[in-house]
Amino acid sequence: MNKQSESFMTGENFKAQDYFGHHKTKNGHTFRVWAPNAQNVDLVGDFTNWAENSIPMTKIDSQVWEITTDLPNIGDLYKFQVTRSNGEIIMKIDPFSIGLEKRPGTASVIYDIPEKNWKDDKWINRRNKSNYFKEPINIYEVHPYSWKNHNDGTPYTFKELKETLIPYLIEMNYTHVEFMPLMAHPLDMSWGYQLIGYFALENTYGRPEELRDFVEECHLNNIGVIVDWVPGHFCINDDSLAYYDGTPTFEYYNETRANNYRWGALNFDLGKPQVQSFLISSALFWLEYYHIDGIRVDAVSNMVYLDYDEGPWEPNHEGTNINLDGYHFLRKLNAVVKEKHPNVLMIAEDSETKIKVTGPISEDTLGFDYKWNMGWMNDILRFYEMDPIFRKYNYGLLTFSFMYAMSENFILPFSHDEVVHGKKSMMHKMWGNREQQFSGLRNLYAYQMCHPGKKLLFMGSEFGQFLEWKYNQGLEWDSLNDDLNHKMQHYSKSLNEFYKGHSPLWKIDHDYSGIEIIDADNSDQSIFSFLRKDEENYLLCVFNMTPVERVNFTVGVPDAGLYTEIFNSELKEFGGNLDKLNQDTKTREGNWKHYKNTLSFTLPPLGASLWKLKIKDKKKKGKS
Q: Which residues are catalytic?
A: 298, 349
Helix (H) or strand (E) holding 455: strand 454-458
| Residue 472 exposed, middle or buried by CB count within 10 Å (0-12, 13-18, 19+) | exposed
| Residue 546 exposed, middle or buried by CB count within 10 Å (0-12, 13-18, 19+) | middle
* Beta-ladder partners of 410: 371
Cβ burial 265-303 (10 Å sphere, 16+ → b, else e):
bbbbbbbbebbbbbbbbbbbbbbebbbbbbbbbbbbbbb
Tallying the residues shown for the chain, one arrives at: 624
What is the rounded CA–CA span in Å between residue 271 and residue 251?
10
**Residues 144/161, Cβ–Cβ less than 8 Å:** yes
What is the rounded CA–CA span in Å between residue 489 and residue 318?
53
What is the rounded CA–CA span in Å between residue 566 and residue 582?
9
What is the rounded CA–CA span in Å between residue 370 and residue 20?
32
For 210, half-sphere exposure in the C-beta direction (CA atoms, 13 angstrom radius) is 17
Q: Give the Å distances, CA to CA, from 514 to 267, 504, 530, 556, 598.
A: 41, 7, 11, 18, 21
Which phi and psi (to 5°) does residue 148 adopt? -145, 145
What is the separation of C-alpha 539 from the centre of its chain, rounded to a whole number of angstroms?
28
**Residues 140/496, Cβ–Cβ less than 8 Å:** no
One-letter-per-residue 3-state SS of 27-54: CEEEEEEECCCCCEEEEEEHHHCHHHHC
**Residues 234/302, Cβ–Cβ less than 8 Å:** no
Helix, strand, coil in percent for the chain, rounding step 5: 30, 25, 40
Q: Which residues are within 8 A (CB) of 382 and not within 5 positions of it... i.e. 6 or more apart?
A: 394, 397
What is the torsional sign of CA 383, 389, 394, 395?
positive
